[in-house]
Amino acid sequence: MWAVEKKTTIILIRHGETDWNLAGRWQGSTDIPLNDTGRQQARMLARRLKANRWPIDAIFSSDLQRAAETAKIVAEKLHLPVQLDAQWRERGLGILEGLTRREISEKYPYLVLPRTFIEAPESESYASLRRRVVLALEEILRQHDGQTVAVVSHSGTLRVLISYILELPEKIYAPFSLRGNTGLSRIIIDGDLAQLNLLNDTSHIEWLGSID
């Protein structure tokens, strides 16, 4: 599936919290900024990555501002530039953007199926999202063979990529959570084998401490 000459590490990061996250509203491609909590989460994440001495060589990010600002906060701590790439955007959710799950269930009950990705009118298809995110990862692997790369993106986008790497059935809403804002997932790619060895780790925001 993959082909790298040297072991390559990809650290997948969900963006910090937004007001819509807090309200349970589906954001999709709507460009919602971080809230103050989200910025604090990003600072805690940055401190963790620096303290762990993870040898991050490059940082990529979705160009939506909730991801881009998260990436910028991390990048400033690690003294790295951020490379914005629209391929890492969240999937457009069409008529569902801005609604809560309860509102979706009430207005569009025919769309809500258990363990299945919702494909609403005007939304990007599952196939389209999977194709672009796999291409985005392949491009990073070509440019950064043997390095460690951080990618700041969105829960839906990262869920599809991780499901693809785990070779799970298409369109199935896999039984793992990426709801933790600034959660870390880590993929190790060695030759043609990709393995997930960390999933949605939010330990950096699960304790109280001073933020520098």
The CATH number covering residue 122 comes to: 3.40.50.1240
Report pLDDT for 207.
64
The total of other beta-carbon atoms located within 10 Å of residue 78's CB is 14
Structural domain includes residue 84:
yes
Sheet containing 148-153: give its strands across.
82-84, 56-61, 148-153, 8-14, 184-190, 193-201
Q: Which of 90, 97, 124, 204 is catalytic?
A: 90
Catalytic pick among 15, 144, 154, 204: 15
49: tokens are: 């990555």
- Continuous segment of H or E residues that includes residue 50: helix 36-51
Q: 3-state DSSP call for residue 66?
A: helix
Evaluate whether residue 96 is within a structural domain. yes
* 206 domain-assigned: no
pTM of this prediction? 0.94
Q: Is 2 a domain residue?
A: no
d(CA 108, CA 95) in angstroms, rounded, equals 10
What is the C-alpha to C-alpha distance for residues 108 and 130, in angstroms, rounded to an integer?
Answer: 24
Residue 210 included in any domain: no
Based on the structure, what is the number of domains in the chain? 1
Query: Do 26 and 97 contact (CB within 8 A), yes or no?
Result: yes
152 in any annotated domain = yes
In a domain, 38, yes or no: yes
Q: What's the domain range around 15?
A: 8-201
Looking at residue 25, the DSSP 8-state letter turns out to be B
Query: Does residue 211 fall inside a structural domain?
Result: no
pLDDT by 10s per residue, the chain, length 212: 777 889 999 999 999 999 999 999 999 999 999 999 999 999 999 999 998 877 899 999 999 999 999 999 999 999 999 999 999 999 999 999 999 999 999 999 998 877 788 889 999 999 999 999 999 999 999 999 999 999 999 999 999 999 999 999 988 888 899 989 999 999 999 998 999 999 999 999 986 444 44
Is 90 one of the catalytic residues? yes
How far apart (Å, rounded) are the C-alpha atoms in residues 117 and 111? 9
For residue 166, which of 185, 181, 146, 150 has the smallest C-alpha distance?
Answer: 185
Beta-carbon-side half-sphere exposure of residue 145 (alpha carbons within 13 Å):
8
The answer to whether the beta carbons of residues 200 and 180 sit under 8 Å apart is yes
Distances in whole angstroms, Cα of residue 17 to Cα of each of 53, 102, 136:
25, 20, 24
* Catalytic residue flag (residue 15): yes
